[in-house]
């Protein structure tokens, strides 16, 4: 099925390349420009590396590094030079690309955003990270949901970012909206390695969905990112895995969205995303079709509260050097004004 990492591409296959990009240090505009050039060059490397590749994926923080610097001088805009360069690289190399930017936000902290650009240079997917890795990350929580697009060769694709993938609800939302492939870009470091492995596999199996996952790689002198590119099939089995920790290596595999569709239609046992709503359909017609989960009701009602809520010690970013915020999110913030 994997066709030797995409070397032998099937008629229904989508070949994905995951770039374990060397972790950069980016402090100035000049650094940002140099790193943009590096990413553009790596898009070309991906095409030269494998002529059958449909989509090349760069990790979270591939442009800005792990400094968590919110300096406005190095924040990006959708109409800025960095995104323009990524668009041109996709055109020049006739390939789809997935990219990471820290995006200027005139109304608050920057967004941690992801883009998928097609081989004509058009932005097809734009996503803002819903779950920043708190208390470490200062990014504004995303506010535009999880888009799902028709990607190369008709595959339905979603993008989530790093810590997002630790919440099973994120992968479930992607699949519920029709994603057959879920991309997860990350900047994770070695302590997260085991969690990275089993969540990537669980996200795939629980939703009958391919997951394509990649971290930054190497050291910037302070942090050591782990690479760990993983392409996981819809049954939870690993199709490709970057275990060497070699910076700038591109991990490749062919995936089959048509087999995802087939499994979602034909599986009985472990068709879990269908059975979530149709629980017990052997005993009752169509299944229970209810919502027995208290946390779901409470989130909708705005009353979500853990039994140990008052005992949680870390509830803002002060432990990581960030000032405690004073404004609320979204509609709550507007109401408070």
Domain chopping of the chain, boundaries: 3-269
Count of other CB atoms within 10 angstroms of residue 105: 17
Q: Which of 159, 220, 152 is nearest to 185 (CA)?
A: 159
Half-sphere exposure of 215 (CA within 13 A, CB side): 29
Helical spans, DSSP H, in 158-271: 168-176, 193-205, 257-266
CA angle 219, 224, 229 (to 5 degrees): 100
The residue annotated as part of the active site, out of 9, 60, 173, 228, is 60
Q: Which of 76, 90, 98, 162 is catalytic?
A: 162
- The first and second tokens of residue 284, run together, are 């009752």
Angle at 27 between CA 99 and CA 117, to 5 degrees: 10
How far apart CA 307 and CA 199 sit, in angstroms, is: 25
Neighbour count for residue 165 (Cβ, 10 Å):
24
241 contacts: CB under 8 Å, gap ≥ 6:
228, 229, 230, 231, 251
- Tokens for 122, please give them: 């058009």
Token pair for 264: 């979602």
Average pLDDT over the chain reads 96
Could you tell me the strand order of the sheet in which 156-161 lies? 148-150, 156-161, 181-186, 210-215, 230-232, 238-241
How distant, in Å, are the alpha carbons of 21, 78, 303, 324, 332 from that of 183?
A: 16, 20, 31, 32, 31
Going by pLDDT thresholds of 50, 70 and 90, the confidence category of residue 335 is very low
Query: Residue 331 has what pLDDT?
Result: 59
pTM: 0.96
Q: Does 333 have pLDDT greater than 90?
A: no
Q: What is the pLDDT of residues 290-302, one digit of tens each?
A: 999 999 999 999 9
pLDDT > 90 in the chain, percent? 95
Structure tokens at 332: 């709550």
Statement: residue 337 has pLDDT above 60: no
Q: Residue 115 belongs to what H/E stretch?
A: strand 111-117
9 is catalytic: no
Residue 103 φ/ψ region, left for φ over 0, alpha for ψ in the -120 to 50 degree band, beta for the rest: beta
pLDDT of residue 336: 36
The three-state DSSP-derived secondary structure of 120-147 is: CCCEEEEEECCCCCCCCCCCCCCCCCCC
Q: Is 334 an active-site residue? A: no
- The predicted pLDDT at position 3 comes to 78
332 pLDDT above the threshold of 70: no
pLDDT tens string 145-204: 999 999 999 999 999 999 999 999 999 999 999 999 999 999 999 999 999 999 999 999
Burial of 153 (0-12, 13-18, 19+ CB in 10 A): middle
The question of whether 60 is a catalytic residue gets the answer yes
How many residues in the chain? Answer: 337
Please identify which of the residues 129, 140, 180, 228 carries the catalytic annotation. 129
Indicate left, alpha or beta for 294 from its phi (over 0: left) and psi (-120 to 50: alpha): alpha
CATH of domain 3-269: 3.60.110.10
> Please, which pLDDT band fits residue 1 given cuts at 50, 70 and 90?
low
Q: What is the mean pLDDT of residues 59-78?
A: 97
Q: Could you read off the pLDDT of 235-277 as tens digits, one per residue?
A: 999 999 998 889 999 999 999 999 999 999 999 999 999 999 9
């Amino acid at each position: 099925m994997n066709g030797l990492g995409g070397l032998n591409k099937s008629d229904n296959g989508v070949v994905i390349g995951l770039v374990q990009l060397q972790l950069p240090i980016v402090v100035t505009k000049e650094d940002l420009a140099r790193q943009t050039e590096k990413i553009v060059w790596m898009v070309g490397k991906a095409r030269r590396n494998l002529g059958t590749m449909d989509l090349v994926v760069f990790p979270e923080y591939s442009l800005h590094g792990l400094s968590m610097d919110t300096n406005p001088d190095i924040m990006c805009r959708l109409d800025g030079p960095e995104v323009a360069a990524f668009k041109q690289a996709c055109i020049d190399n006739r390939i789809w690309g997935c990219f990471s930017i820290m995006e200027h936000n005139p109304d608050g902290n920057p967004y941690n955003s992801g883009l998928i650009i097609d081989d004509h240079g058009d932005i097809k997917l734009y996503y803002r990270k819903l779950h920043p890795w708190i208390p470490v990350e200062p990014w504004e929580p995303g506010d535009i949901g999880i888009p799902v697009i028709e990607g190369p060769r008709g595959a339905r694709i979603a993008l989530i970012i790093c810590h997002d993938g630790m919440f099973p609800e994120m992968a479930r939302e992607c699949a519920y909206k029709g994603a057959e492939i879920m991309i997860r870009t990350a900047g994770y470091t070695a302590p997260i390695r085991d969690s990275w492995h089993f969540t990537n596999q669980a996200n795939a199996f629980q939703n009958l969905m391919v997951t394509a996952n990649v971290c930054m790689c190497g050291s910037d002198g302070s942090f050591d990112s782990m690479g760990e590119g993983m392409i996981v099939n819809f049954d939870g089995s690993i199709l490709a895995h970057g275990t060497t920790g070699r910076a700038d290596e591109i991990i490749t595999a062919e995936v089959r969205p048509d087999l995802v569709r087939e499994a979602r239609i034909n599986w009985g046992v472990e068709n879990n995303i269908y059975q979530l709503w149709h629980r017990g359909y052997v005993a009752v017609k169509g299944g229970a079709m209810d919502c027995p989960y208290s946390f779901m009701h409470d989130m909708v009602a705005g009353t979500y509260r853990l039994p140990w809520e008052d005992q949680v010690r870390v509830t803002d970013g002060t432990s990581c050097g960030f000032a405690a915020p004073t404004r609320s999110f979204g509609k709550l913030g507007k109401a408070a004004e």
